[in-house]
């Protein structure tokens, strides 16, 4: 499967990364269109279950994008987010996936190019890693379910 057909979910802080993505759009910067953005008040609100659910629902890669370190509007939310992401990488690995499918980036609202680069980085990783094994497992279950409903 081509990497630009795989799904990337970006959990983006409303104060920085979300605005950086918006600015990238306003500047008409080109980047892969396979990213869907989930806006968070602060990346400090991220939890492992949100990331794992994104993978379970078909994401091939997930990234969390927060303010620059020292610039979080909730003081240390982005530091907490980095710890959560690092911890969740282990859970992702235990689930049978390459932990490089998950990443954390920091940027300010004016760093449109950095948001674009984050999407490109994750897309390049997907070119190497291919679709999520959870997606393929789900496809197998769908085939099994279809088979059960026919028989
Ligand atoms: Fe942006 Fe906390 S307000 S990461």
- Which protein residue's CA is at the shortest distance from atom 1 of ligand 1? 67
pLDDT of residue 135: 75
Q: What number of CA atoms fall less than 13 Å from residue 99's CA on the CB side?
A: 10
Q: State the residue range of the domain holding 74.
A: 3-150
What is the rounded CA–CA span in Å between residue 151 and residue 1? 30
Beta-bridged to residue 65, according to DSSP, are 12, 105
Walking along the chain (151 residues) 10 residues at a time, the average pLDDT comes out as 87 97 96 94 97 96 97 96 98 96 98 97 96 76 50 36
CA dihedral 23, 122, 44, 113 (to 10 degrees): -20
Query: Rounded to the nearest whole angstrom, what is the distance from the C-alpha of residue 123 to the centroid of ligand 1?
Result: 24
pLDDT of residue 5: 83
Give me the CATH number covering residue 129. Answer: 3.40.50
Domain count of the fold of the chain: 1
Of 114, 102, 115, 112, nearest in space to 51 by CA: 102
Query: Rounded to the nearest whole angstrom, what is the distance from the C-alpha of residue 38 to the centroid of ligand 1?
Result: 14
65 Cβ closer than 6 Å to some ligand 1 atom = no
What is the rounded CA–CA span in Å between residue 146 and residue 96? 25
Single pTM value for the model: 0.90
Q: Please check whether residue 67 is in contact with residue 106, taking contact to mean a CB–CB distance below 8 angstroms.
A: yes
What is the rounded CA–CA span in Å between residue 54 and residue 149? 27
> What angle separates helix 77-94 from helix 48-56, to the nearest 10 degrees?
50
């Amino acid at each position: 499967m081509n990497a630009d057909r795989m799904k990337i979910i970006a959990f983006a802080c409303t104060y920085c990364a979300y605005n950086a993505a918006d600015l990238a759009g306003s500047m008409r910067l080109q980047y892969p269109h396979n990213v869907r953005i989930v806006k968070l008040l602060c990346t400090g609100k991220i939890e492992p279950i949100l990331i794992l659910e994104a993978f379970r629902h078909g994401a091939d890669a997930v990234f969390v994008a927060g303010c620059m370190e020292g610039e979080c509007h909730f003081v240390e939310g982005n530091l907490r987010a980095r710890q959560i992401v690092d911890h969740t990488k282990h859970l992702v690995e235990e689930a049978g996936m390459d932990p490089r499918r998950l990443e954390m980036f920091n940027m300010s609202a004016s760093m449109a190019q950095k948001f674009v680069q984050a999407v490109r980085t994750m897309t390049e990783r997907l070119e190497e890693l291919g679709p999520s094994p959870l997606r393929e497992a789900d496809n197998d279950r769908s085939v099994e379910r279809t088979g059960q409903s026919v028989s």
